[in-house]
Amino acid sequence: MATIGAKAIPRGGNWPLGYTLIEESNPAAGAFTIISVRIDAAIAMTGVEVATFYKTDGNTFSTRNTAFIGDVPAGYSDHVVSIGAEAGDYIGCQYIGGKVSRDTSGGVGLWWLSGDHIPCSEKVFSYSSTHIISLGGGDVLPVSVAITETEVKPEVTKAAGGGGRRVLGPEVEIKPTYFGEGGGGWNVFVETELSPLLPAPEVTTDPALWIGPLSATLDGTLDSGGGIEPCDCGFEWGLTAAYGETTPTEKKETGEGFSQVITGLLPNTLYHFRALATGFGTSHGADRTFTTAAVAILATVTTDPATGRGAIAATN
């Protein structure tokens, strides 16, 4: 079983809202897909997002994959997600309401930055040693269940469990086989429904088109919807790989291309951009760059009727 982050247990304190947090303990030992995120909330949380982060330099981080959980009740809870992690990645979160449980001693350390930085690229975080928050994840669900197919009902979509999104392809009946011990103690499970766990979408950043001095057309392709379609597809762009700007999104299905025109650019300037797609989680394409065209110089020729001599005036 692969895990990441800390145990989701009650702690002596909490961390206030308005920050993006990265838990240093137990980084990913190898590549795996996180399918269960465990949180202990000191106060019920809202607008919770989680992500895997990788360090680019010192205390500088970028997100690898993200997922939106939504509401998290007070105390211990599990949430079904599907976010990829690579060796050395850390798990982090941000939220708009409530507080996550925290201890100021006994931990490895915690990175923090004011504001919502999920997703982010090349962001410099502050660091607090010995701090620890109750946030972790793994590649197995917290309870073993026997699954038997019952009735096929395609096109059924439900939201279940603390804001986590689940899509029911054929519906299945879940019969518990034993109690599972989570970070908050023993939990009793009842009959419920569980959907197939879906991967995040896959998206490609294609070369920019129609590049002028003040505008350009960004281009991308949705390679896979990951099981949820259509996906919301768009772009991040800016003067550096930290981007800072996003385009509107459009709904696309597997194999379809998408594009957005960006304006207000500076002539003869290098820009970065990457495609993004949101389905069961958000994925990003590779970073690409383009350079806007220089402003054209127009030449005006006038002829003196008396002498036949000409004059050339150059204007930008």
Please name the residue that has the structure tokens 């004011």.
114
Q: Please report the pLDDT score of residue 153 as a whole number.
A: 33
Average pLDDT over residues 53-66: 95
Alpha-carbon distance of 120 to 56, in angstroms, equals 12
Confidence category of residue 162, pLDDT binned at 50, 70, 90: very low
Contact 83, 200 (CB under 8 A): yes
Cα 239 from Cα 272, distance rounded (Å): 6
**What is the DSSP pairing of strand 165-168 with strand 172-176?**
unpaired
Q: How far apart are CA 53 and CA 69, in angstroms?
A: 17
Q: Categorize the per-residue pLDDT at 7 as very low, low, confident or very high, splitting at 50, 70 and 90.
A: very high
Percent of the residues in the chain that have a pLDDT greater than 90, as a whole number: 67
Does position 288 have pLDDT exceeding 50, yes or no?
Answer: yes
pLDDT at 240 over 90: yes
| Residue (of 67, 68, 64) closest to 85 by Cα position | 64
CA pair distance 150, 160, nearest whole angstrom: 19
CA distance 231 to 278: 5
Q: Give, in order, the Cα–Cα distances in Å from 138 to each of 34, 40, 147, 187, 266.
A: 5, 15, 20, 17, 45
Check pLDDT > 80 for residue 171. no
**Assessment of whether the complete model's pTM goes beyond 0.75:** no
pLDDT of residue 305: 64
- CA distance linking residue 99 with residue 134, whole number of Å: 11
- Predicted pLDDT of residue 64: 95
Within the chain, what is the greatest distance between any pair of CA atoms? 104
- Structural domains of the chain ordered from first start: 3-138 (2.60.120), 145-187 (no CATH), 202-291 (2.60.40.10)
Is the pLDDT at 55 greater than 70, yes or no?
A: yes
Indicate the pLDDT class of residue 246, thresholds 50, 70 and 90. Answer: very high
Measure the N-to-C terminal CA separation of the chain; round to a whole number of Å.
Answer: 64
pLDDT for residue 186 is more than 60: no
Residue-wise pLDDT for 207-218, tens only, equals 999 999 999 999
For residue 173, pLDDT beyond 50:
no
